[in-house]
Amino acid sequence: MPLPVVILPGYLEGATAYIALEKSLQELGFPTVTVPLRKRDWLPTVGGRSMVPILRRLDRTVKQSLKQNNASQVNLIGHSAGGWISRIYIGEKPYTIHGDAIESDRLWSAHPHVASLVSLGTPHISLERWTKRNLDFVNSNYPGAFYPYVRYVCIAGKSVFGARKKGSWLAFNSYQITCGNGETWGDGITPIEAAHLEGAENITIEGIRHSPKSPGMWYGSPEILPLWTKCLV
């Protein structure tokens, strides 16, 4: 039987946006649940603050999934910021940089219970000052595909080229503050080079956009799933 799947939503997104993806994975045979977040649950994290509130929800959901499925591991899917937040959760270094958690909280060190981490359009690097502190913690402690026994799969979308013109400004600005180059390809929010990790199974998919609310196809569209669900352990 396939391992259970836990989906961690992207920044400022609620679980309802992932209902279709959750159902599609269930139809493929994966027992799937989304971390039950609402948009307002992200408010304490705004402005580069601590991700501890999200880690608490993630940890609770993973433990419930393990118990309900009588499993020892899960496949973790992180969309957008959910991907790098998942790297904090997997890692063993105490995430105490904001002073709102102590080592005994144990909202991390989950690597023995995670068989694979699939990141969808995750900005694994950022030059933006609000996110840089958190991402510096991640990348300084867990560079690349850090744990050799965790399967890291990083999916990037190639649908929008950033440019200083109408229709491409949002992509240009988002790419610029993420990797320092606005004139590059990405999913409209995350540039390809930021969505990949050294040592991971890096996949780029043509024509997909960043968000489940984007027009057209996104990472979780049914016709796209076969391109990356084959990587789930």
Backbone phi, psi, residue 182, to 5°: -80, -25
Q: Is residue 170 part of a domain?
A: no
Q: Which residue has the tokens 């992509």?
A: 171
Characterize the bridge pairing of strands 185-186 and 160-161: antiparallel
Backbone phi, psi, residue 143, to 5°: -65, 140
Helix (H, G, I), strand (E, B) or coil at 49: coil
Give me 136's structure tokens: 């510096």
Domain residues for the domain of 83 are: 5-156+191-231
Q: Residue 195 in contact with residue 55, Cβ under 8 Å?
A: no
Q: Residue 66 in contact with residue 53, Cβ under 8 Å?
A: no
> What CATH code is carried by the domain that includes residue 92?
3.40.50.1820
Q: Is residue 128 part of a domain?
A: yes
Q: Is residue 171 part of a domain?
A: no
pTM over 0.95: yes
Q: Is residue 161 part of a domain?
A: no
Q: How many structural domains comprise the chain?
A: 1
pLDDT tens per residue across span 116-128: 999 999 999 999 9
CA distance 181 to 164: 12
Q: Which residues contact 11 (CB under 8 A, 6 or more apart)?
A: 42, 45, 80, 81, 82
Question: Bridge partners of 7?
Answer: 34, 77
Q: Is residue 202 part of a domain?
A: yes
Residue 155's nearest CA partner among 99, 62, 230, 66 is 230
DSSP 115-180: EEEEEES-------HHHHHHHHHHHHHS-SS--TTSEEEEEEEE-EE--SSTTTHHHHHHHHHHHS
| Residue 50: predicted pLDDT | 96
Neighbours of 39 (CB within 10 A): 14
Q: Is residue 216 part of a domain?
A: yes
Q: Is residue 185 part of a domain?
A: no
Q: Is residue 182 part of a domain?
A: no
- pLDDT per residue, tens digit, the chain (233 aa), is 799 999 999 999 999 999 999 999 999 999 999 999 999 999 999 999 999 999 999 999 999 999 999 999 999 999 999 999 999 999 999 999 999 988 888 899 999 999 999 999 999 999 998 899 999 999 999 999 999 999 999 999 999 999 998 878 999 999 999 999 999 999 999 999 999 999 999 999 999 999 999 999 999 999 999 999 999 97
| Residue 106: predicted pLDDT | 86
